[in-house]
Amino acid sequence: MERCCDVIGGGAAAGHPVVDWQGTHAALVRYLLARRVTKDLAEDIAQETIARLVVISRSQAIASVFALAFRIANNLLVDQARLHSRSTAGLDEDMVCDAPSLDRVLDSQKAFEVFQRCLNRMPPLRREVLVRRRLQHQSCRSIGEELSLSDKAVEKHISRALDDLRRGMTRAGLDPAGWNQQWY
């Protein structure tokens, strides 16, 4: 097996001991994984650590490759944690706004306008039945009694009114699926 140090240059011929870089890399990955670092991050930190060790080993003798490797890996891990905390430090849970986004407000206004136009275009009896059932929460029976309609006729008016609303929303480019919970 060819040693990384022999490929890069140096090695025993240059007066430096031959280092098992692959074994060091594997030990670093195991160490980082034991510290609950993701596999990808462990690989990245181990690779960066080996690169730094190779640069250092070219200019000076390393007394303990593993000790220096683990120290460098720890420092890189701390740097990574600092970088992560800086990127999330600006997000304060107390500063979350409960108000709807501007897009949501504009979509709601458009939906309301479409809804109002659809209601205005409906025959008066159909509109009356829908408003009583969906807005005033009256039962089909009470609506039928007050308007002299059968329960079946009331249900038919509601069904047709909802179809009218659904078609109007679709024509306006609004997704009627999002309105199912409130109106259908």
For residue range 39-53, what is the model confidence (pLDDT) as tens digits?
Answer: 999 999 999 999 998
Q: Are 125 and 147 in contact (CB under 8 A)?
A: yes
Q: Are 140 and 154 in contact (CB under 8 A)?
A: yes
Q: Is the pLDDT at 8 greater than 60, yes or no? A: no
User: Would you say the pTM of this structure is higher than 0.75?
Assistant: no
SS3 at position 136: coil
d(CA 105, CA 103): 5
d(CA 123, CA 169): 18
Confidence of residue 157 (pLDDT cuts 50, 70, 90): very high
Q: Are 98 and 67 in contact (CB under 8 A)?
A: no
CA 63 vs CA 19, 70, 128, 173: distances in Å: 11, 13, 90, 71
Q: pLDDT by residue (tens digit) across 88-143?
A: 655 555 566 777 777 777 778 888 888 899 899 999 999 999 999 988 899 999 99
Q: Is the pLDDT at 12 greater than 70, yes or no? A: no
Q: pLDDT by residue (tens digit) across 130-140?
A: 999 988 899 99
Domains recognised in the chain with CATH numbers: 4-93 (no CATH), 102-183 (1.10.10.10)
